[in-house]
């Protein structure tokens, strides 16, 4: 009898462990979720993910889930901030009519009226599913990733497929114009949304809102795209190019990248440092940002979908 029980127990454990080890997909279900270095509220915030972002779930500790974002960045978030999906449900989401939030902030309400009870906040870049009911009073019916249904002002969202068409071939000026929308917004370590962003977060968000997924950190972004000669920033750096700061490599230590900005052309850049602001890259200017050493520059545009670190939303298999 004991032998039979041991066999049954072994079969149960054998069937459970592979299921636990299998990776699954999820959607971020809040406007912005912090991603922690460790499964602990007091742990460092290493990044963020926004509502409607598809993520891969790679582990679980208590109510914390280890997730990987579309560009491959890992962190921990709680079960309240994501919704787990079966393969079938994930495919249904990919095929659904989706909307992207284009206003800085928007509210999803329970009824199609100003002042109605709020279901959730949204920020620019969030992705919602369009519900199959009619627009009412200038409000579009939507479904949140966790299945709750409500209404969002129609002027705050646009069709994801139509948006993809408008950002199919962004220019450097488009990237700069997007970044300029966040002038004066606060710096936030690990931030990646209009609620606050760090230097590489501003870069990543500005490109994402133009349909391009970049790697998360400045130290990763510097090795993507086309490396540029940064000895003459006025002539060699075009709008949309990235410029990196830090410490150059020596015989005894490697290169260190601590900051990144977006070239605006003509020796100017926009970046997130204390707040999103504009500075000159030219040492003779009073608004120069040359207290830190330039250690690299790269061009992203023209290299979409040609390397893993620069992928369009349209071509990323988690979105379409």
Q: How much is the pLDDT for 241?
A: 98
The whole-number average pLDDT for the span 46-67 is 98
In the sheet with 226-227, reading across from the earlier edge strand, the strands are 226-227, 293-299, 242-247, 256-265, 268-273, 275-280
Query: What residue ranges do the domains of the chain occupy?
Result: 24-91, 96-164, 168-315
Q: 22 falls in which pLDDT band (50, 70, 90)? A: low
Q: How much is the pLDDT for 10?
A: 39
Q: Rounded CA gap, 84 and 67, in Å?
A: 11
In sequence order, the β-bridge partners of residue 212 are: 312
Q: How much is the pLDDT for 284?
A: 85
Domains 24-91 and 168-315 are alike in CATH topology: no
pLDDT at 263 over 90: yes
CATH of 24-91, one of 3.90.1300.10, 3.40.50.300, 3.20.20.110, 2.30.30.40: 2.30.30.40
Supply the DSSP string of the chain, one letter for each residue. -HHHHHHHHHHHHHHHHHHHHS-EEEEE-SSEEEEESSSSTTSPEEEEEETT-EEEEEEEETTEEEEE-TTS-EEEEEGGGEEEE-HHHHHHHHHS-EEEE-SSEEEEESSSSTTPPEEEEEETT-EEEEPSSPPBTTEEEEE-TTS-EEEEEGGGEEEHHHHHHHTSS--HHHHHHHHHTTTTPBB-TT-EETTEE-HHHHHHHHHHTTTEEE-SSHHHHTTSSEE---SSHHHHPPTT-EEEEEE---SSS--EEEEEEEEEETTEEEEEESEEEEEES-TTSTTB--SSEEEEEEE-TT-TTSBTTEEEGGG-TTT-
Which stretch, 7-16, 69-78, 246-255, has highest mean pLDDT? 69-78
Q: Which CATH class is domain 96-164?
A: mainly beta
pLDDT tens, 269-315? Answer: 999 999 999 999 998 888 899 778 999 999 999 999 999 899 999 99
pLDDT at 111 over 70: yes
CATH of 168-315, one of 2.160.20.10, 3.40.228.10, 3.30.960.10, 3.90.1720.10: 3.90.1720.10
Q: In the predicted model, what is the mean pLDDT of the chain?
A: 92
Check: CB of residue 17 under 8 Å from CB of residue 77.
Answer: no
φ, ψ of residue 112 in degrees (nearest 5): -80, 70
């Amino acid at each position: 009898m004991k032998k039979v029980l041991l066999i049954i127990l072994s079969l149960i454990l054998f069937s459970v462990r592979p299921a636990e080890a299998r990776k699954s997909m999820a959607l971020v279900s809040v406007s912005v979720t912090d991603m922690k270095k460790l499964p602990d509220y007091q742990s460092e915030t290493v990044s963020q993910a926004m509502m409607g972002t598809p993520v891969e779930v790679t582990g679980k500790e208590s109510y914390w889930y280890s997730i990987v974002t579309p560009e491959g960045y890992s962190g921990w978030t709680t079960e309240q901030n994501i919704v787990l999906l079966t393969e079938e449900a994930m495919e249904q989401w990919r095929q659904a009519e989706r909307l992207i939030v284009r206003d800085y902030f928007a509210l999803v309400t329970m009824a199609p009226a100003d002042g109605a009870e709020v279901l959730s906040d949204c920020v620019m870049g969030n992705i919602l599913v369009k519900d199959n009911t009619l627009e009412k009073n200038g409000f579009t019916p939507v479904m949140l990733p966790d299945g709750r249904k409500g209404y969002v002002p129609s002027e705050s969202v646009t069709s994801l497929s139509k948006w993809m068409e408008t950002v199919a071939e962004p220019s450097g000026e488009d990237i700069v114009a997007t970044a300029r929308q966040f002038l004066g917004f606060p710096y936030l370590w690990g931030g990646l949304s209009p609620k606050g962003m760090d230097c590489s977060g501003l870069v990543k968000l500005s490109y994402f809102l133009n349909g391009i997924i970049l790697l998360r950190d400045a130290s990763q972004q510097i090795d993507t795209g086309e490396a540029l000669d940064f000895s003459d920033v006025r002539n060699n750096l075009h709008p949309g190019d990235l410029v990196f700061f830090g410490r150059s490599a020596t015989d005894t230590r490697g290169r260190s990248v601590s900051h990144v900005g977006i070239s605006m052309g003509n020796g100017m850049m926009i970046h997130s440092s204390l707040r999103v602001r504009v500075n000159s890259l030219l040492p003779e200017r009073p608004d120069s940002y040359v207290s830190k050493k330039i250690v690299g520059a790269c061009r992203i545009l023209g290299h979409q979908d040609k390397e893993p670190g620069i992928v369009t939303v349209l071509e990323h298999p988690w979105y379409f």
